[in-house]
Amino acid sequence: MSLTAFRNWALVVSALVLPAHAQITLTGAVWFASTPTGGTSVSQGYADGATNTLGGDQWWNLWFALDADGTSPINGPSDVQAPISIPLQKGRSYRYYLFNQGPCCTLGYSGLNLFFNGNGSAPGISVFGALNAASFLPNANSSTFSLPVSIAPGSGTGYYVSGGDVVIVSGYEWQSSGTLDVCQAFTFTPGSAPSATGSVILQVYPAATVSGSLPSAAPGTTITFTGSGFVPMEVVKIHVGGFGTTPVATAIADAAGNFTIGASVPQRPYGPEDVYAAGQTSGRLGATTVDLTPRLRISPSTGSPGGAATAQGLGFGAGETVNVYWGNPRQLLGTPPTNISGSFVGSGALHFMIPTNAAPGSNPVIAIGQTTGAIAIGKITVE
């Protein structure tokens, strides 16, 4: 055999023995009642609700179905059929309706952890949101659940990357118990109490890459995003805080499929936020995460004792109360609530009086989120 023929033969053999492209498979899910920051505990799971797709354990089962009335189940109806193994194909979108046993729940937030490719100890996707609402956030809280409903770290992302594909959660919501009654612990046969219901939407894309110049930033900060793996000269849109959000920047990939572009961080709540770079021609998707930190703006920047000033906060928790203090001597100036974006700005800004005993010179103003514990410090010079 000639050297050329041998090389051709070796290439054919190697192609035959190389493993096929690994497809992402959804192999587990846990729903649980959570705090406003996405946290939970085993005792809280018992008291307020936690269900999984494991089967054969002490927890109620989480049922998947293809329709909102639960008549087309994915798993079940028996406990031994509670586990799931759902291949997710590139370029597809999936919506699954979720059901669990009994009324839900005394807390106003819920979390959903998804597990992939047989890994039941570390969630590939962790998200949480308010009940009866379609908005959700990635969950990096350390007190979330593994598939067997034991304490595990959250992934802090709404996406999972494996084998050249990326699957994202583009929709998640959970409803407090309604009139629909489709499941008991081990069967879809109607029981005696309303079922708690929800849904999750998954989308699968071929993966590209994107990274940011800063791991964390406050709203209004400019981050440089760098991407690769796109097709030459295609438009790439950058989304911060979810795939359906308004793009914060639009880049054009170069001849090698790479781009670099700066973008201002939008008003979003405290904590991790998904960042997506979406190729408009190739359908490729890059995913990364940036941690949103708070910022406190004080205006005017100078003032006199007894004078008026305004504090505006960004990057706190959504819907939390923020205590704003004068730094020295320490005194409470006000307790503004934040909006859904974690901000108190505009008509929601805090108007306060500079304390009459304020010391001359630079003085700190401190804002502390009462749910997240997020802290931001502003300054005003007292003349």
In angstroms, the CA 301 to CA 292 distance is 24
The whole-model pTM stands at 0.88
In a shared domain, residues 302 and 371: yes
In a shared domain, residues 343 and 304: yes
Q: With 70 as the cut, is the pLDDT of residue 6 above it?
A: no
- Choosing from 230, 257, 292, the residue where a domain stops is 292
Q: In terms of pLDDT, which residue wins out, 340 or 325?
A: 325
- Choosing from 292, 308, 343, the residue where a domain stops is 292
Looking at residues 185-208, what average pLDDT do you find? 76
State the number of CA atoms in the 13 A half-sphere of 157 facing the CB.
18
In a shared domain, residues 166 and 237: no
The CATH number of the domain holding residue 230 is 2.60.40.1930
In a shared domain, residues 351 and 247: no
Q: With 70 as the cut, is the pLDDT of residue 51 above it?
A: yes
In a shared domain, residues 49 and 61: yes
**Residue 8: per-residue pLDDT:** 36
- Our count of domains for the chain comes to 3
Q: With 80 as the cut, is the pLDDT of residue 351 above it?
A: yes
Task: Identify which of 215, 212, 202 has the alpha carbon closest to the alpha carbon of residue 239.
Answer: 212
Which structural domain range is residue 231 located in? Answer: 209-292
Q: With 60 as the cut, is the pLDDT of residue 182 above it?
A: no
In sequence order, what are the residues at sequence separation of 6 or more whose Cβ sits closer than 8 angstroms to the Cβ of residue 347?
none
In angstroms, the CA 344 to CA 350 distance is 8
Q: With 70 as the cut, is the pLDDT of residue 98 above it?
A: yes
Cβ–Cβ under 8 Å, residues 88 and 202? yes
Q: With 60 as the cut, is the pLDDT of residue 183 above it?
A: no
Cβ–Cβ under 8 Å, residues 213 and 290? no
Summarised one tens digit per residue, pLDDT across range 208-257 is 999 999 999 999 999 999 999 999 999 999 999 888 789 999 999 999 99
Q: With 60 as the cut, is the pLDDT of residue 100 above it?
A: yes
